[in-house]
Structures are given as C-alpha cells and as structure tokens.
Chain A
Amino acid sequence: MKGRAIRFIAGTVLRESLRRREIYVLVLVACGLIAVILGFDFFGIGGLTKFYREASLKVMGWTTAFAVIVLATRQLPREMENRTIYPLLARPIRRVEFLLGKLVGVLLAGLFCFALFMLIFLLGSLRIQATVPWGLFLQHMYLQLAMLAILSALGFLLSLVVHTDAAITICVLLYALSAVLATVLVHLYAYMDAVGRVLLQILTYAVPQLTLFDLSAKAVHAEAWSPLSWQIMLSLTVYAVVYTGVYFAGAFVLFRRRAL
C-alpha cells in the first residue's frame, strides 16, 4: 500500500472541493445562522439564544453531512463518465489505493467544511458570552467526523450499485431517518413475534445508528450533561470503524474488477 498515492488522490479531491463554490455557500449559511444568534441576544431573549444555538449546531451537522454525501456519491461515477479515471489508473497504483485516496479526500473536505462551521459557531457563541463546554464540544466534533466516515463509505458503496441520484437519495434518507428508525424499532419490538424480532434486530445492525454521533443538544445544554466517558467514546469509535470498514470493503469488492 502506497501512502503517497493515497495522499495525491486525496489532495485532488480536497482541491476540487475547495475550488468549487458550494463550500462558500455553506459558510454563508453558517454566517447567517450566527447573525441570527447574535440578533436574538441583541434583543435580550436569552432562552431563545440557547435553543437557537442548538438548532444551528444541528443544521451545521446536517449541512456538512449532506455535502459529504453528495461529494462521496459523485466521486466514482464522475471519474468514469469524464474518463479522468484512465490517466490516474494508468499509473502504478492499485484500485484499493485509488478508492482509499478518494475516501480520505472526501473526509478531509468534510473536516474542512465542519471545522469552518465550528469555528464560526464558536466565534458567535463567544461573542454573546455563551459558555462553551469544551469537553462535550470537542467530543461532538470528533463523533460527527466519525459519522461522516460512515456516510462517505456508504456513499461510495451505493454509487457503485445504483445511479448517483438514487445513491444520494438513499444516503440522505438513511441519515434523516436514523433518529426516527431507532425509536420506531424499539417500539415495534414489543409487538413482534420471534421472527419479526429477528428481522428487527437484523435491521438494527444493518443500518448504522447515526444519532449516536450527535451530541449537539448536550453540547449546548451542558449544565445537565458531562462529557462522555472514554469507554463510550472508544465504543463509538469502534462502531464507526466497523461500519466504515464494512461499507468500504463492499465498495472495493464491486470496484476491484469493474470494467472501465
């Protein structure tokens, strides 16, 4: 495995993300949200500010997730449609290195976007002298990145199975329904027979529980919450690594012998 090849391909993905205008539109959205936060504080509605900080943190998470899903699902189909893949794979690199480079690149772009959001959020919060619970806040950032890794790998896998638009839709649905699904599955479990319960368990493990990676509410209402223990953080890291690994392995199996 050549780290050099992965680095070059990841650098290209990052460069593309930074040179396209989408990312700046996202930053403008963040700036708008912060402006509203400051606006609420200006009128002295302290309680609403807290609610709004939580909402804006969530919106920033959703926006980054959406950006990463779109970026990941478009990578391989666009390389094949534009035939830019030929000069790349004509080099002495393996397809797994190519795929890993793409994954790392998408994650770096996601990290850049998310870090930019968080910076703006922090500046806004500090401006209105809101308390920033650094422990929970940093844990939230870390877990969001772990979730982006799962979404990226899933995006790659789906883009090799279905059309790009369908892959984006499925990814977004899985992400959006993740919170609802977890609750629904728990409720349904009580009403199911043995076979139904097995099916629900399969579904529980087949679909990643992405809400586990969202600490936005805790990071804002910090007076009621302590930072997560290292054991929980480790478990969540393993959880993310397993799902990312499984989806990535699936993508590699499909891409390894694909005719180009």
Chain B
Amino acid sequence: MSEAVIAVSDLSVTYGRGGRTVHAVDGISFTVSEGECVGFIGVNGAGKSTTLKTLMGFLFATSGEALVWGQPAGTPESRLRIGYLPEVALYYPFMKARELLELYGGLSGLDKALLRDRIPEVLAMVGLAGKGEILLKQFSKGMQQRLGIAQSIIAEPDLFIFDELTSGLDPLGRHTLRTLLLGLKAQGKTIFFSSHELVEVESLCDRVLIIHQGRILRDATVAALRAEGGTRGLEGFFIDLIGAAGGPQA
C-alpha cells in the first residue's frame, strides 16, 4: 500500500453568509495515495474549491482533520512539496513572466542559478516559450492560465493540487496540459484536481471522488464508474448520480 499523501478525515468547513451558516463541506473523508491521479468532481457549489483551499490552508476546518504529507494542512511543512493552481488567479500585471517565476521559484527555495535554467524549460513545457520578457498585463486569459500551470510546476513538487484545471484554456492549451499531466503521472507524481471537464477526468484519472452538497457521494476507480455509466461513460454516471441525489439545487 502506497503512502497516503492526502488524508482527510471527517472534515467539515462551515462559514457564515448573509446571516446564515453554510456547511460548505460536511464531514468528508478520503485519501489520495502517492502516485495516484484523482479527479474531484461535482456541480458548482458542491464543496470542491472549499476542500482544496482547506488542504492549502486558505480556509480552516471547523472540525475533522486534513493531513498533507503527514503534516496538518496549511502548515509551511505540508506545502513544501505542493504545486497549486488556484481556480481563478490574476498574476501581477507589472511583472514579466520570468520575474514572476523567479518570485515563486525563489519562495519555494530554488536558487537563482537553478532558476535561470529552469524558467525557459518550464515556459516551453506550457507553450509559452520565448514569452519570458513580456509584461503580464499583455497576457491573454489563456496565457495567464498557462503561466499558472508553469508556476505550479516550477519547483518540481511531488504533489499537484489543481482547482478547475482546464479553466480558460483553448483546445490547444488543453492538449498541452494533458500531455504535461500524463508526463507528470509517468514520473510517479501525485495529482489531485477538480474539474467540470469529465472527459478530461476520464482520460487522466485513476480514481474519482464525487462531491455533492458538501458530502462525498462516491469514491471509485474510473473503470468502475465507467462500467456503471454504460455507454454514456463517466458523464452519464455523474448525471444520474446527481439526479438521484436531488439535482444541483437540492
């Protein structure tokens, strides 16, 4: 049995909104093992981003526990080997792509000499070769998303957490990303990502977690879910499952 890179146990995250209490995540438990690629799917507001943000320490658990590499989620020690891509992020418009990667690489502990070689390599990997000296205010949304992926891989982490992986990417960008993720998978890296693109999830993941209204409805391998979905595959299974649970607004 591989080591559990992510171990979530009875995790609840509650916050107040407009005078009422929202149970964004309601007692979920799951693990992600080393070398696994796990997709995290659910409708909007299901609790995906809340869970991922809790793993990164941006939100705090109301109860339960989340461990990353055996360390409490959110501690600098737990983030030592994580590459994170936020759902939507802007990058400093006054910086050049190279400077931004120097900043993130430097904060991850990489030295200048190493970054000098690593930055052009990473930019090429995400399809931004030769764009290092361009100010980010001139970057399109898709280019910003590619840069987001570049910043997440700059320090060669062992665990990748991506929130809405393919958001803002054109078909070519998705292809580049898919190739990149397959490469990371082949290297034995652990990948945990949320996405609305079920075809993407189906083609990349070993296992899928389906979350709905803050609770895990299903935790199974892609092969098992595909079999249950019949000819409609994972998407068919997902639609039936959410429908049976009362639909997105239930």
Indicate if the CB atoms of A93 and B15 lie closer than 8 Å: no
A20–B86 Cα distance when bound, in Å, is: 26
Is A47 in contact with chain B by the CB < 8 A criterion?
no
Residue of A nearest to B95 (CB): A15
CA distance A89 to B78 in the complex (A): 12
B107 near A5 (CB under 8 angstroms)? yes
Chain A nearest CB, measured from B165 CB (Å): 15
Whether, in the assembled complex, A12 has its beta carbon less than 8 Å from a beta carbon of chain B, the answer is yes
A16 at the interface (CB under 8 A from B): yes
Q: Does A35 contact B (CB under 8 A)?
A: no
Chain A interface mostly: helix
Taking CB atoms and an 8 Å cut-off, the chain A residues in 1-31 that contact chain B are 4-5, 8-9, 11-12, 15-16, 19-20
A79-87, A110-118, A124-132, A135-143 - interface stretch: A79-87
| B42 located at the interface, meaning its Cβ lies under 8 Å from any Cβ of chain A in the complex | no
Contact mask B57-89 → A, CB, 8 Å, 1/0?
111100000000000000011011011101011
> Which A residues touch B84, using CB under 8 A?
86-87, 90
Q: How large is the interface on A (under 10, 10 to 19, 20 to 34, 35 or more residues)?
A: 20 to 34
Chain A contacts of B86 at CB under 8 A?
83, 86-87, 90
Contact between chains at B94 and A86 (CB < 8 Å): no
**Chain B: CB-nearest residue to A101:** B107
- B109 in the interface, Cβ–Cβ < 8 Å? yes
Chain A residues positioned under 8 Å from B104 (CB to CB): 87-88, 91
Interchain CB contact (< 8 A) of B80 among A12, A19, A82, A92: A92
Q: How many of chain B's residues touch chain A, expressed as a range?
A: 20 to 34
**Any B CB within 8 A of the CB of A94:** yes
A259 within 8 A of B: yes
By DSSP majority rule, is chain B's interface helix, strand, loop, or mixed? loop
Q: Which residue of A lies closest to B78 (CB)?
A: A92
In the complex, whether B139 has a CB less than 8 A from a CB of chain A is: no
- B56 near A90 with CB under 8 A, answer yes
CB-CB under 8 A for A84 and B108, given A8-B103, A89-B57, A259-B59: no
A88 proximity list for chain B (CB < 8 A): 104, 107
Given contacts A4-B106, A5-B107, contact A16 B15 (CB under 8 A): no
Q: Is B12 an interface residue (CB 8 A)?
A: no
| A187 at interface by CB-CB < 8 Å | no
Within 8 A of A (CB), among B168-186: none
Chain B residues numbered 140-160 whose CB sits less than 8 Å from any CB in chain A: 148, 151-152
A-B interface, 5 closest residue pairs, ranked by CB to CB distance from nearest: A90-B84, A86-B86, A91-B107, A260-B58, A92-B76
11 CB < 8 A contacts A-B: A84-B91, A84-B92, A87-B89, A87-B91, A89-B58, A90-B56, A91-B107, A92-B77, A93-B107, A259-B60, A260-B58
Name A residues whose Cβ lies closer than 8 Å to a Cβ of B: 4-5, 8-9, 11-12, 15-16, 19-20, 82-84, 86-94, 257, 259-260
